[in-house]
Structure 1
Amino acid sequence: MCFLMETRLDKEGFVQLYDNLPYPNRIIVKYPDSSGGLALIWKNDIHMELINFSANHILVKVKEVDGFEWFLTCFYGWPEANQKEKSWKLLSHLKDFVEGSWLCIGDFNAFLTSSEKFSKQPPINGQVDAFREALDICQLEDLGFKGYPFTWNNKRPGEANTRIRLDRAVAMKEWREKFQLNSVTHLSSHASDHLPIILQSRSFGHNRIRRDQKFKFEESWFLWDAYEAVIRKAWNQAEVEGAGLDPIQEKIRLCGEDLLAWGSAKTISDTEEIKSLQKQVEKLIAENVTPESKAEFLGVSKLLDELLLKQEIYWAQRFKIS
């Protein structure tokens, strides 16, 4: 499933631009004015029931193949400082609709610690405390992350530059116990002031393995010198707990996912160049913004856009054929 914010699109506009995506199920929420807008899209193999929605949230109930049910809130907090109290009132209100396990993900337009903000302007402690108190009341705990520490950058040069971790995933204890292998990763982005985040929810069981997507090793991967290093890295990074053969089987499965993702990319033209450009983007994002670095960023972004467009066309054709 995928959650999008600030789309600035109504249902018709969203379908016109994104109808080729392989997500046939959609919930589109339009702001009263031309700004904002939320969209939750998902595939047919995900069983989801809409509970309620507003201009700042979408609440659904998800049912796993093993019968386990949990609640998902896709959240967009008020960005204005004098409106943030509305975010925490809404969060508290949504808790009344939750029965059991709860995950909340999105742009809260707030941060939890001073280390989550890089700016000449000091953080406002009252706002930080209010966000933390709201999560405590709702029994929600931050899931952490991997990658670059800030998810929003105003991209202004020098002392005017501000970077904050605004986007996150938080969950109740019941959800964390069910999906003990969950991970949140901050991805790179050159076209937005926000970084996209990806949440992988994994449990020790096999209930999330789909039979139509079994892992198959491709002999052509032997032609690439890097395949052995990919296997070693994936195996060493797969952190699992437990006794018996289950942890070993889980490590094999996770290793297979990483290897499949790496191997699949070898069939796409310009993949290595795209990865190189993405690394340049990540490096430039992490540096202090100057007129020179901004010009370099725009140049790299333009080239990256061109290659990504080619890749998008490739996958669109592949999807139609299949």
Structure 2
Amino acid sequence: MKDNAINVIRRKLGYRNSFNFDPDGIAGGLSLWWNDDLDIQILSSSKNVIDTAIISRNGECSKRITWVYGTPYRVEKDVFWRNLEQLSGDNSLPWLCAGDFNEILWGFEKSGGRETSLYRPQYLMNFMDKTGLIDLGFQGQSFTWRNNRSKEGLVQERLDRGLINCSWQKAWPNSTATHCPAVGSNHCPLVIDSSPVLKKVSKLFKFEAFWASKHESKEIVRKNWHEAIAKRNWQIDKWCLGLKGCRKGLQNWSKEKFPNNNKRIGELMEALSELQMDWEVNYPLIELVKLELAKLWSYEEKFWNQRSRVKWLKDGDSNTTFFHHSTIQRRRDNRICKLKLDSGIWVENEVDIRRTIDGHFHGLFTTGGHREL
């Protein structure tokens, strides 16, 4: 009867295909539903995990998604996490591992009940370290599970999450996980969107660290600064105009000097491949191309190092990929998808969010008193 009801709901929602692992009585059980536009290969399954490979028919790259229901029973945890680690195997595909892990990472992911022990087994942390998975973060409320008790006995935890590897982050850098309102369950639904629609905004000006390696940058700053401040008498005007002049001068110079590092690197790699067909004849050219590539890779490393805000790695460690992924993760964590107003209303539209933030700081820095200093 219960299985028939599930199939009726699945068909009404438009999902034609399914894979089910029956519950033990009224506990546990997993059900996976998907549309006809996907080819799903079940790699392995158990009462706690459905591991799948997904091939999209719309030209998108293949991916691996592991759907998890972590055991809540302490006596089963060692075996469960050991088996989950063994599933990692070949990690070359973009990989998402998501679901109810029945584990928390940090003490602040729990509220109420007993205090989290510092000496408890770190199953989830160890699993992420061994498999190289990254927490996707979340939008929405902080906790995904509640015991639905009164204020004194209320316990809340973040048990549900999405974990991704670097290949997934590279393929879908804007992926988001949202904790939706809990209805009919003590868990919040976890909605993961790999390609959310993001509005492009104008980028803030940044002085690029690799500009300093060129002597011309110093001359451009000096020239534009003196030209700008010569137009005004007031010191504050000189300062603002000087900065504006330097910014425009450096931006124009950078467009000419460093048009597109990635595009240029691709062109040089193709040229290098062709030159190395006849290594002996083209040896001098090959060395020149390699020197140019090393210079461009150095620029890229400094570019992403500057944006990653990672200060504990020194220049020249060749950690461009690490800096890149650190930057993507930081930007995802800092993204504001919705705000709660003082009235209790949530705003999700980007224009409304921007207006709310502008209004807050306008009120914060506006005074009704005298402006005479």
Query: Common fold, TM-score beyond 0.5?
Result: yes
- Report whether the alignment pairs 1:192 with 2:174: no
- Report whether the alignment pairs 1:120 with 2:129: no
Q: What is the CA-CA distance between 1:21 and the residue it aligns to?
A: 1.9
| Alignment partners' CA distance in 1, 2:155 and 2:196 | 37
Equivalences for residues 27-42 of structure 1 within 5 A? 27-42=19-34
Q: What is the CA-CA distance between 1:101 and the residue it aligns to?
A: 2.2
| Alignment partners' CA distance in 1, 2:93 and 2:115 | 38
1:109 aligned to 94, 102, 105, which one? Answer: 102
Residue type of the alignment partner of 2:31:
A
- Report whether the alignment pairs 1:165 with 2:162: no
Equivalences for residues 54-93 of structure 1 within 5 A? 54-64=46-56, 65-66=58-59, 68-93=61-86
- Report whether the alignment pairs 1:179 with 2:191: no
| Alignment partners' CA distance in 1, 2:132 and 2:100 | 18
Residue type of the alignment partner of 1:92:
E
Q: What is the CA-CA distance between 1:159 and the residue it aligns to?
A: 2.4
| Alignment partners' CA distance in 2, 1:16 and 1:66 | 31
Equivalences for residues 1-322 of structure 1 within 5 A? 9-10=2-3, 12-64=4-56, 65-66=58-59, 68-96=61-89, 98-127=91-120, 129-202=122-195, 235=199
Which has the larger displacement, 184-193 or 14-23?
A: 14-23
* Offset from partner CA, 1:289-320 (integer Å, 9 cap, x none): xxxxxxxxxxxxxxxxxxxxxxxxxxxxxxxx
Structure 1 gaps, min length 5 = 1-7, 205-233, 245-276, 280-322
| Alignment partners' CA distance in 1, 2:149 and 2:11 | 34
Distance change >3 Å, CA 26–CA 98, structure 1 → 2: farther
Distance change >3 Å, CA 146–CA 136, structure 1 → 2: same
Distance change >3 Å, CA 32–CA 192, structure 1 → 2: closer
Which has the larger displacement, 15-24 or 41-50?
A: 15-24
* Offset from partner CA, 1:160-205 (integer Å, 9 cap, x none): 110000000001111111101101111112321101010000289x
Q: What is the CA-CA distance between 1:126 and the residue it aligns to?
A: 4.0
Residue type of the alignment partner of 1:96:
G
| Alignment partners' CA distance in 2, 1:34 and 1:189 | 19
2:10–2:16: 8 Å Cα contact kept in structure 1?
no
| Alignment partners' CA distance in 2, 1:81 and 1:146 | 29
Distance change >3 Å, CA 19–CA 66, structure 1 → 2: closer
| Alignment partners' CA distance in 2, 1:237 and 1:122 | 43
* Offset from partner CA, 1:263-292 (integer Å, 9 cap, x none): xxxxxxxxxxxxxx998xxxxxxxxxxxxx
2:160–2:190: 8 Å Cα contact kept in structure 1?
yes
1:109–1:167: 8 Å Cα contact kept in structure 2?
yes
Residue type of the alignment partner of 2:38:
I
2:180–2:188: 8 Å Cα contact kept in structure 1?
yes
Residue type of the alignment partner of 2:156:
R
Partner of 2:368: none
| Alignment partners' CA distance in 2, 1:9 and 1:172 | 36
| Alignment partners' CA distance in 2, 1:9 and 1:118 | 34
Distance change >3 Å, CA 237–CA 160, structure 1 → 2: farther
| Alignment partners' CA distance in 1, 2:129 and 2:85 | 10
Residue type of the alignment partner of 1:153:
R
* Offset from partner CA, 1:218-242 (integer Å, 9 cap, x none): xxxxxxxxxxxxxxxx748999xxx
- Structure showing greater radius of gyration is 2
Q: What is the CA-CA distance between 1:99 and the residue it aligns to?
A: 4.5
| Alignment partners' CA distance in 2, 1:191 and 1:203 | 27
* Offset from partner CA, 1:123-168 (integer Å, 9 cap, x none): 1334462220111111111100011000001011132110000000
Aligned-pair identity in percent equals 27
TM-score, normalised by the number of residues in structure 2: 0.50
| Alignment partners' CA distance in 1, 2:42 and 2:51 | 6
| Alignment partners' CA distance in 2, 1:81 and 1:238 | 51
